Structure 1
Amino acid sequence: KVLRLWLFCQNVSFMAAGVAVVAILAYPDGAMAYNHTPFICLVVLINVCGALGSLSTLAGTILIEREWAVVISEGEHPSFLAKMNSILRRIDLSCKLLAPVVTGFIISFVSLVASAVTLALWNILSVILQYWLLMSVYNGIPVLSRRGRFADESERVGFVSLESYSGWMNGLVDHPYVSAWRLYLKQDVVIPGVALALLYFTVLSFGTLMTATLEWEGVPTFVIGLGRGLSAVIGIGATFSYPVLESRISSLRAGLWSIWSQWSCLLLCMGSIWVKERVSSAYMLMGGVAASRLGLWMFDLAVIQQMQ
């Protein structure tokens, strides 16, 4: 059910967003001056559908990378799980690298409308392929359909006696969401998990804010694109390096080495603050962020394996 719901919400959301983008691009410029309501509604629809699509993608990532990978690797050597996590992350980063390139080619050599139409059609066609591939894996590995795999988790939660609570407090403490947080806080990997979450709580990545800042600093768009591509390539390289490092020094030490590696690369970003020449400072910032992806993704893989 989770698999079907994830695929349905993800693809329908992106298809709706693609149709809305096509409608905006086909909207007559002169008509916007007289009636803004359709334009505003389409923009709201794009943002809502994009948010739903992103949440659905995150749900699918959790299902495949956090659940299925663990089940499939049961009874295997820890290096098997490390390799599987690395391959999944490599596929993810490769898609993130290729998607902007393909979209950029379509926009540059065809049109912006064609890119939006391609997005909508791609989601229509890919949902069939996705469903077939995922169901093939699900049916081919019977252990994935086994229920009650975590039935004994509640025995390790150590719930506080509810006799001292009454009314709404009783229901609040017994709520599955609260129980899940209490279970998580009892795990040994809670601190590395929080550290990993804080690493993503930053603007030092090739996101929208950093891209806008670099353009404001005078960095050409194609250079920013090359920087993003280099960052993705380094991230893919991390997926090859981590299994080798983990097999030699364990996932714990690999994670420690990775986080110090990222911190060292980010020192270059800090140094760019004192560079007076704006373009040179921007290039230093880009170089530091791109180089730090090696440590970031290796640390990500190390923490994920510790959690699993």
Structure 2
Amino acid sequence: MWQLYLSSLLSAWGDRMWGFAVGLILINITPESLVLSASYGLVSCGTAIMFGSSVGRWIDRTARWKALTTSLILQNSSVVTSAVICVVLLEFKTELSDSLNGFGLILCYILFIIFASAANLASIASSIIVGKDWIVVIAGPNTNKLSKLNSTLRSINLVVLAVAPMFTGFIMNFLSLTAAAAIQAGWNIFSCFVEWTIYKNLFNSHPALARKGAENCVEPFNESYAKRRSKSQNSVGKFFRDWVSYFRHPVRYAGIALACLYMTVLGFDSITTGYATSQGVPEWILGILAGVGAVTGLLGSTSFPKWKIWLGLDKTGLLGFFSQVVCLSLCVFSVWLPGSPFNIPDSVKQERSYYSVGFLMGGIFLSRFGLWIADLTINQILQEEVKELERGKINGVQQSFNQLMDMMKFILVILLPYSDTFGYLIIISFAFICLGMMFYSLYVFRRQSPPSVDDEENPMTVAASSSNI
């Protein structure tokens, strides 16, 4: 499995480097305004919502190797192009603003947003292809092996999430932003060739990857037939039909539960760290807390296979959600502790107290354990219970759903932007986590109940996996 792990490490490293660098680079390009950063985030998120299901549908009707190579090349070439545009903007912004009455600068902004959004879509495609399809085929019928693969890949991602930003920040601090963008472009060129070679060897070493169809199909996937079938269908309304298919699928409640985890400010992102900074928490302490949160998350991801063996998949998910809700209760409690600016009149002066922000950050880093257990559980449910030729479509809609909930979070932050209203964001976030737990519990309950008439008539219903309680 070293080939799969190494390719995932290379891919995650490039993604995390780029995700950290691009925000700082855009702020440096337009320090007087957040319009460019906001436009990039909005378009990137919007395209993922609109085209996630289309990407998934394309994956379903395309042979595995062709789908992977296309997404791999598109993702890396788009990141390289975006990084080159960043270099041009950093070095020649003045010249561009003077050319074509300023249209040259605007054109570069537009091109950057287009290519960066394309890279995000291609990244979604790659994650679905490898994370939701290839590893299921590689693991075969052994669900415990699948759990181990999921756990290791997620642990790699969490380690890279902690280390890659530090490496990128080091480059920016001791070299320059231009050097960071140039190194990013060089890394993606190098990574693309290495990943292609690794995936080619992995593909050749697992003949089952060359077959795509029903679970026991022995004939190669007929790509031309799939394309003709897709073209014969009315293209109008495919987007909505994909979402209808998702909400009719037996995994829908588990998927909704996963999406609810994205509608939260209770994480180590720019929103919560910005709030903590406004409450007087030094940056170095935030860095330590982020590191502790990463370790807690690793404990969850690495212990997931053991919990799955001991409790079964469904109960492991319940454990993850319950643990997360209990830990995040500290965050809700923090809203009314000394030091909280929640609903404090301007005329009232408080003495500096760190009780509130301490409970908030403590609840967040403790909740990482349950978060990644719940995430890995639902991820495996989507792998096991979605038919092979529907994995792309269902997981594409899931990605869009996750992005939609993430966008809702930012909209709420825009509507409640001040420190004294952050308590409302905490309460709303906690409510969505509890809602996610309710939906997941409903999914588990329905799994234990006899199938309903609707489920029996639903052609997408699949047999319950061996991981049932």
1:59 aligns with 2:125: yes
Which of residues 362, 367, 381 in structure 2 aligns to 1:292? Answer: 367
TM-score where L is the length of structure 1: 0.84
Q: State the distance in 1 between where 2:116 and 2:285 align.
A: 27
**Correspondence 1:234 to 2:296:** yes
Shift of 1:19: 1.1
Whether the 8 Å CA contact 1:172–1:178 is kept in 2: the answer is no
Taking the TM superposition and a 5 Å limit, the aligned residue runs for 1:1-308 are 1-27=66-92, 36-76=102-142, 78-149=143-214, 171=234, 177=239, 180-277=242-339, 280=354, 281-307=356-382, 308=384
CA displacement at 1:124 relative to structure 2: 0.8
For residue 162 of structure 2, give the secondary structure of its aligned residue in structure 1. Answer: helix
Q: TM-score, normalised by structure 2?
A: 0.57
Deviates more, 1:56-65 or 1:89-98: 89-98
Deviation at 1:244, TM superposition (A): 0.9
Partner SS for 1:200: coil
Task: Provide closer, same or farther for how the CA distance between residues 39 and 178 of structure 1 changes in structure 2, counting only shifts above 3 A.
Answer: closer
Residues matched between the structures, number: 289
User: 1:211, CA displacement in angstroms?
Assistant: 3.2
**Corresponding residue SS for 1:194:** helix
**Which structure is richer in relative contact order (CA contacts within 8 A, separation 6 or more)?**
2
Tell me the distance in 2 between the aligned counterparts of 1:228 and 1:43. 32
Secondary structure class of the residue paired with 1:27: helix
Distance between the aligned counterparts of 1:231 and 1:51, measured in 2?
Answer: 29
Q: Percent identity?
A: 33
* Alignment deviations for residues 204-249 of structure 1 (CA, whole Å, 9 cap, x no partner): 2222333333333333333333333332232222111111111111
The alpha carbon displacement at 1:27 in A equals 2.8
Partner SS for 1:274 = coil
Unpaired runs of 5+ residues, structure 1, are: 153-169
Q: Any conservation in 1 of the 2:331–2:363 contact (CA below 8 Å)? A: yes
Displacement of 1:24: 2.1
Counterpart-to-counterpart distance in 2, 1:237 and 1:36: 52
CA distance in 2: counterparts of 1:262 and 1:229, whole angstroms:
18
Paired letter, 2:362: G
Query: Is this contact kept in 1: 2:96–2:104, CA < 8 A?
Result: no
Alignment CA distance shift 1:241-1:26 (3 Å): same
Q: Deviations over 1:175-200 (max 9, x none)?
A: 66555444433433221111111111
> Could you say if the C-alpha distance between residues 300 and 28 of structure 1 is closer, same or farther in structure 2, counting changes exceeding 3 Å?
closer
Evaluate the alpha carbon distance shift between residue 249 and residue 46 of structure 1 in structure 2; reply closer, same or farther with a 3 A threshold.
same
Counterpart contact for 1:3–1:60, Cα < 8 Å: yes
1:84 to 1:31, Cα distance in 2 relative to 1, 3 A? closer
- Pair 10,223 (structure 1): closer, same or farther in 2 beyond 3 Å: farther
Once residues 263 and 106 of structure 1 are traced to their aligned partners in structure 2, the CA distance between those partners, rounded to angstroms, is: 38
CA deviations 1:146-194 (Å, max 9, x no partner) are 0223699xxxxxxxxxxxxxxxxx9479x66555444433433221111
For the residues of structure 2 that align with 1:171 and 1:49, how far apart are their CA atoms? 29
SS in 2 for 1:218: coil
Equivalent pair of 1:259/1:296 in contact (CA under 8 Å)? yes
Q: Is the alpha carbon distance of 1:112 and 1:213 closer, same or farther for their aligned partners in structure 2, counting shifts above 3 Å?
A: same
How far off its partner does 1:94 sit?
2.0
Compared CA separation, residues 36 and 14, structure 1 to 2 (3 A): same
Asked whether the 8 Å contact 1:234–1:291 carries over to 2, the reply is: yes
> Shift of the alpha carbon at 1:7?
0.8
- Matched-pair contact (CA < 8 Å) for 2:158–2:294: yes
Tell whether the 8 Å contact from 1:14 to 1:49 is kept in structure 2 after alignment: yes
The Cα of 1:272 is off from its aligned counterpart by 2.0
- Residue number in structure 1 paired with 2:445: none
What RMSD, in angstroms, separates the aligned Cα atoms of the two structures?
A: 2.7
**Distance verdict in 2 for CA 1:26–1:136, change over 3 Å:** same
Other-structure match for 1:156 = none
Shift of 1:292: 1.0
Residue 335 of structure 2 aligns to a residue whose secondary structure is helix
Q: How much has 1:30 moved relative to structure 2? A: 8.8
> Where do 5+ consecutive residues of structure 2 fail to align?
1-65, 218-232, 341-352, 385-469
CA contact (8 A) 2:93 2:105 kept: no
Contact 2:71 2:122 in 1 (8 A): yes
What per-residue deviation string (whole Å, max 9, x for no partner) do you get for residues 93-134 of structure 1? Answer: 222222101101111222222111111110111100111111
Change (3 A) 1:210 1:44: farther
